[in-house]
Amino acid sequence: MTDEFMLSVNYKGEQKDYPARLLLQGYTYKICVIVDDMEVYFEPDEEGSFRVVKMPGQDDKKLENMDKGLLQGLSERIEKVVK
């Protein structure tokens, strides 16, 4: 089951919308966000925050070069949406 939605983030003074979807996996879930034509996966950690996870087949170099501030902003926004 997947649920699609738009994730709005204000970053560097600019409001941007990113397509996202909820991926249910047994007792847990991931949020997949499309950033610059790449799927970025977030999962909840033990403290209830969200972290980026690498998935098999992903371009590790492209993921490592993504704007860390943007990824943090997306993570924080996901936390607010989920709670």
Output the pTM of the full model.
0.90
- Number of domains making up the chain: 1
Averaged over 4-23, what is the pLDDT? 94
Q: Is 74 helix (H, G, I), strand (E, B) or coil?
A: helix
Q: Tell whether the model's pLDDT for residue 1 goes beyond 80.
A: no
Averaged over 3-26, what is the pLDDT? 93
Interval 16-54: pLDDT, tens: 999 999 999 888 899 999 999 999 999 999 888 999 999
- Domain with 12, as residue range(s), is 2-82
pLDDT computed for residue 83 by the predictor: 78
pLDDT > 90 fraction of the chain, expressed in percent and rounded: 69
By CB atoms closer than 10 A (0-12, 13-18, 19+), residue 45 is: exposed
CA 65 – CA 36 distance, rounded (Å): 12
